[in-house]
Copies of this chain bind each other. A is one copy, B any other.
Amino acid sequence: MVAICVPEPDDAAALGEIAGHARLTILVWDGSGPAPDGIGEVEFLVGPYMGGAFGPENLALMPRLRVIQLFSAGVEPWLPLVPDGVVLCNGRGVHGGSTAELGLAGLLALLHRLPDYLSDQHHARWDPQRGGPDLDDRRVLLLGAGDIAQRVATAVEVFGARTHFVARTEREGVSALAEVAGLLGDQDVVVVALPLTAATEGLVDAQFLAALPDGAVLVNVSRGRIVDTDALLAELTRGRLSAFLDVVEPEPLPADHPLWRAPNLLLTPHVGGGSSGWRRRAERLLQAQVTRFLADEPLANVVHDGY
């Protein structure tokens, strides 16, 4: 028997559908409350979103643990917790499509003035404005070259935008992050879809923003700490840039934070991966990973190999 611990009953139900199910013992625990019986046998742990209530003391109850599977793309709350010898896998693909959709939704909403028209709708005011720029022939810089960035790029190209990728490692069609400063003056839109690392934290600072041309749009659907909130607030307030942010620093944003009242900003509360489709995709990933684990096959989405 192989013991698996999942955070929600839905996850346990999903495992009922995989081949080899008869060999599984399934525990449900999100790290809060007392540990269930049999926790010491767990080899495969599905971590709750953003770490949930899990800490080192929880993981210490699982001496046989070999895999931690997350459904998020970002792994930063978990990295310091991973015991030696345990493989950490992320949820690449689970939230990517939905996050890319939200990024595009926010970008298009800004370009096409949906916040203004929503206000007009509330006031029963039919007032067509001279439109802003559309995507045709606009230059869109993608910070990141993964699933989210690729989807956003493919979608904006449908409308005639010209795209350029930047990522940590230079490769064909992708510039190195170290060269990003020289590219900023030529961009109409910058989409942040990079993981949060020591190299990306604070990347979009006052100097980065100052290098963008007047009227440029910043989209962040990755992690708030990649953008210097105060520097962005200054650019929004003087009306030089506009932005769509699904992620901010800090989260949750306190009610008295000036970002709430910033002009030229559309803000959503970190819901990029939260569409209802993610559940189905998470179940497919979990089924595939557990099937591999039972068959001693290599796991997908490994971000930390245990040593």
Contacts and interface: CB of A to CB of B under 8 A. Distances in A.
Interface-central residue, A100, A134, A251, A278, by most chain B CB under 10 Å:
A134
Contacts of A112: 101-102, 105, 268, 271, 275
Given A97-B159, A101-B112, A104-B108, A134 B268 contact: no
Contacts of A98: 131, 134, 136
19 contacts: A97-B134, A104-B108, A105-B109, A113-B271, A114-B266, A114-B268, A120-B269, A124-B257, A124-B260, A126-B253, A128-B269, A128-B274, A129-B274, A130-B274, A130-B276, A131-B274, A133-B275, A137-B277, A155-B158
Interface size class of A (residues with CB under 8 A): 35 or more
Interface in A18-77: none
**Identical copies in the complex:** 2
Given A275-B133, A275-B134, A270 B151 contact: no
A178 interface: no
Given A124-B260, A158-B154, A252-B126, A135 B269 contact: no
Contact of A133 (B114, B130, B135, B277): B277
B154 A121 contact: no
Interface string A104-123: 11101101111101101100
Interface string A152-174: 00110011100000000000000
A12 to B, nearest CB: 20
Contacts of A127: 269
Contact of A108 (B108, B130, B132, B256): B108
A240 to B, nearest CB: 18
A255 interface: yes
A304 interface: no
A271 B113 CA distance: 10
A281 interface: yes
Interface in A248-266: 251-253, 255-257, 260-261, 265-266
Contacts of A252: 126
A73 B264 CA distance: 32
Contacts of A271: 112-113, 117, 128-129, 131
A267 interface: yes
A145 to B, nearest CB: 16
Contacts of A124: 253, 255-257, 260-261
Contact of A134 (B101, B117, B267): B101
Given A131-B276, A275-B134, A115 B117 contact: no
A265 B269 CA distance: 22
Contacts of A256: 124
Contacts of A130: 274, 276
A164 to B, nearest CB: 18
